[in-house]
Structure 1
Amino acid sequence: MKILQVIPFFAPKYGGTVNSTYILSKELSKAGHEVTILTTDIDKDEKYVESIIKKGVNVICLHSVYNLGLLIYSPSIKNWLDTNLKDFDIIHMHNFRSYQNNVVRTYAKKYNIPYILQARGSVLPFFQKQNFKKIYDFIWGYKILNDAKMVIALTNGELKQYQQMGVRSDKIKIIPNGIDLSEYQLLPARGKFRKKYGIKTDENVILFLGRINKIKGIDLLINSFSDISKELDMVKLVIVGPDDGFLNYIKQMIIDLKLSDKVIITGPLYNKAKLEAYVDADVYVLSSRYETFPNTVLESLVCVTPVVMTKNCGIADIIDKNGGIVADHDIQHLKQAIITLLTNKKLRSKYAKNGRRIVETKFDWLNIIKNLERIYMDILNR
């Protein structure tokens, strides 16, 4: 099959959506399909793009004229689609509200090319810019949903979100994100990350890794950590990830709470450096206000590090009491869950081993790609 993947941005700083699209495209190419990623040059990372081109995936980075937050305007997409779209068998759109999806829908209808939509947690108009999202949906969003041959949900929770937007149940398929287990076969030796950042071997490390955005609930984690540091000695909070508009806020929080000597902010880490952070952590914490499918939880578990996550995160039901602890989204519950793991080495070990096994059995990309191929073929054979 000739498959067009459409995503408005393609840089690692944008987190799980980009990472999942990268791996999905790579695995489809490995399975023998011709895959092209159509995106923009917003925050373009040349090394990142080159790395997937080397794996047999074509990448088209169209020039972005301006970025309105939700809408990255790339007018040259129209000429590109007019020239190239008829050569593809199927289109796979990622994210929901984007200028690219608006235009691709129009040209998909023009050339009678079927498309599927994978909103990746963005389908409901909540959290930030709600009014803008509702206007978008009125003008374009419902049309994109209606014309899609199929939509993909990551979890049961996201399936219900599509239904709230009026999508018929028979148009929704659940396919979770996966993880490329081959990248985690040989984990780095423990201690390298600690040595680099001056963390003692007997200090407990609480790790957050992800975009530094308000939705991630890092402020809740810092408040919980403030209380934890008063009850436990030898504990450090490590915050890893690119700034997404919230870094200055949390830096001021750390100063106000007098935690500067107990919190380390590294900036973004990738590849081996990221694995070293996971391996050296005693517990990984994701305190998000909302998260459809947290890829970082899978990454932590496959690195044999147990997790604490808030119940607002997708896959919480799978992880709870298997790979870690699920807490309510408040300071005290989060604090207690973290302390429970930090003070019980036997429980940490149990969750770490169970967690790795869960990821290996439920979230291997090879099985996920097979399911996706079936959906593509089913649509093309109609």
Structure 2
Amino acid sequence: ILQVYHIFPALFGGASTVVYQITKELSGKGHKVDVLTTNARLRHGENRNLDGVSVYRFPVVSEKLANYNIVIPVVNFLLWVKDRIETYDCIHIHGHKNPYSMVVHHYAVKYDVPYVLQAHGSLPRIGSWKRLKRVYDVLFGYRLLRDAAKVIALSRVEAEQYTRMGVPEEKIAIIPNGIDLSEYAVLPSRGAFKKKFGIPEDEKIILYLGRIHRIKGIDFLVRAYAHLRNEMNCRDAVLVIAGPDDGYLKEVQELTAALGVWDSVMFTGFLSEKDKIVAYIDANVVVNVEPLNVYGLVPLEAAACGTPVIVSKGNAINDVVHDGKFGFSVKYGDINGLAETMCKMLVNYGLQREMGRNGRKFIFENYNWANIVTKLERVYEEVVEE
């Protein structure tokens, strides 16, 4: 089985974490799994082979473009695909709107190797480059979907997105993301994150964790936080924005200054897995209000740490949060509504504890990666047998 994604190993959650966990589980079950990837956003000191998985890594034409998710691999990438693709029983392409998927698609079709496509929320033409995304879909994107043996949707919301782009319902398999529960089985004590970043013990934390990108709804969160402090006089919580800059950090910083909350907003930058977990544990509430995300690992990880969440009603994870009773949802853009919901969570410690217990129990019962990958194996078997 060949897994194709431009970032490997995992980089701060998202699709790269999903690819890593899938390859790890498949390899552990005895499958021969290779990963075809690039050096995009590669952190120093990472190994070629991880968890028994062979990793084939190629440079990108421009690291600057790769930072904006425009990943153009070098010619050797194309030659490798041409020479090796016939040796695989099945290919799993992660991501829809990128040049490397086009290359793999071309040779998979040419040599009649079945592939599964998982868009990871990349189908909608949102954010920047809308016209370019439309051109891409007309020239390549629709063909990529048409020729896939199966497509993986993370939720009903994403399944509907596939359908609107012409994918027949019988080709769509809905398989949610899981999380690595072993990382959350025994949690560290509270206080480590506050101590490391100099946050007073008695100060509460509202946490955003993820890439600092325009589409993530961070401006909505910052405006609601400013309303919470300035209009509702709720001043005992710091807003922690944790994650790498994805082209939007400067604007967010300028917004915090313009709204008069600069001195109560903390930007931590990238967090290690260890620091990420202690951030979840020390947070009173995790806010993830991206408007159109088809799924999201952050609310699941927060729940696994026993921390309640607030999500957007437009976010597909909303159904999961309500099913598990571990948080609230608000209408995207409703600044007063988000501020009031954050205040409700911050002042009611009993509610925090109740939702925290609900979330941890729900995640451990429903989101084990081993069970998720078993569903994926059935999809692979189906496309190979066809």
Same fold (TM over 0.5): yes
- The equivalences for 1:289-304 within 5 A come to 289-304=291-306
Which digits, 9 at most, give the CA deviation of each residue in 1:117-147, with x for residues without a partner?
A: 0001111323321111111111111111111
| CA–CA distance in structure 2, aligned partners of residues 281 and 81 of structure 1 | 45
Aligned to 2:343: 339
Aligned residue pairs total 378
> Secondary structure at 1:264's aligned position in 2?
strand
**Which stretches in structure 2 are left out of the alignment for 5+ residues?**
none
> Secondary structure at 1:277's aligned position in 2?
helix
Report the Cα offset of residue 159 of structure 1: 0.3
> Secondary structure at 1:261's aligned position in 2?
helix
Q: Which amino acid aligns with 2:326?
A: G
Pair 1:359-2:363 in alignment: yes
Aligned to 1:84: 84
Which digits, 9 at most, give the CA deviation of each residue in 1:267-318, with x for residues without a partner?
A: 0101111111111000001121321111011110001000011112122012
Pair 1:322-2:321 in alignment: no
> Secondary structure at 1:34's aligned position in 2?
coil
Report the Cα offset of residue 205 of structure 1: 0.7
Structure 1 segments of 4+ aligned residues over 6 angstroms from their partners = none
> Secondary structure at 1:152's aligned position in 2?
strand
Aligned to 1:132: 132
Equivalent pair of 1:124/1:165 in contact (CA under 8 Å): no
Relative to 1, partners in 2 of residues 1:34 and 1:134: Cα closer, same or farther, differing over 3 Å?
same
| CA–CA distance in structure 1, aligned partners of residues 124 and 291 of structure 2 | 15
Report the Cα offset of residue 9 of structure 1: 3.0
**Which stretches in structure 1 are left out of the alignment for 5+ residues?**
none
Which digits, 9 at most, give the CA deviation of each residue in 1:199-236, with x for residues without a partner?
A: 22221110110000111111111111112123223211
> Secondary structure at 1:151's aligned position in 2?
strand
Q: Percent identical across equivalent pairs?
A: 38
> Secondary structure at 2:93's aligned position in 1?
strand
Aligned to 2:376: 372
Which digits, 9 at most, give the CA deviation of each residue in 1:56-102, with x for residues without a partner?
A: 11111112113374542212222101221111110000010111111
Report the Cα offset of residue 15 of structure 1: 3.9
Equivalent pair of 1:236/1:263 in contact (CA under 8 Å): yes
Q: Which amino acid aligns with 2:14?
A: G
| CA–CA distance in structure 1, aligned partners of residues 292 and 248 of structure 2 | 16
Aligned to 2:176: 176
Relative to 1, partners in 2 of residues 1:11 and 1:371: Cα closer, same or farther, differing over 3 Å?
closer
Which digits, 9 at most, give the CA deviation of each residue in 1:213-266, with x for residues without a partner?
A: 111111111111112123223211111000001100111112222223211111
For residue 353 of structure 2, the aligned residue among 335, 349, 352 is: 349
> Secondary structure at 1:32's aligned position in 2?
coil
- The equivalences for 1:306-321 within 5 A come to 306-320=308-322
| CA–CA distance in structure 2, aligned partners of residues 126 and 216 of structure 1 | 11
Aligned to 1:212: 212
Aligned to 2:72: 73
Equivalent pair of 1:311/1:326 in contact (CA under 8 Å): yes
> Secondary structure at 2:104's aligned position in 1?
helix
> Secondary structure at 1:305's aligned position in 2?
coil
Report the Cα offset of residue 173 of structure 1: 0.4
| CA–CA distance in structure 2, aligned partners of residues 108 and 272 of structure 1 | 39
Return the TM-score normalized by structure 2: 0.94
Equivalent pair of 1:224/1:331 in contact (CA under 8 Å): yes
For residue 255 of structure 1, the aligned residue among 246, 254, 257 is: 257
Relative to 1, partners in 2 of residues 1:302 and 1:190: Cα closer, same or farther, differing over 3 Å?
same
Pair 1:199-2:199 in alignment: yes
| CA–CA distance in structure 2, aligned partners of residues 44 and 205 of structure 1 | 30
Which digits, 9 at most, give the CA deviation of each residue in 1:16-51, with x for residues without a partner?
A: 01111111111111111111111111222244x42x
Query: How well do the aligned residues superpose, as a CA RMSD in angstroms?
Result: 1.6
Aligned to 1:63: 59
| CA–CA distance in structure 1, aligned partners of residues 373 and 255 of structure 2 | 43
Return the TM-score normalized by structure 1: 0.95
| CA–CA distance in structure 1, aligned partners of residues 193 and 279 of structure 2 | 6
| CA–CA distance in structure 1, aligned partners of residues 38 and 176 of structure 2 | 25
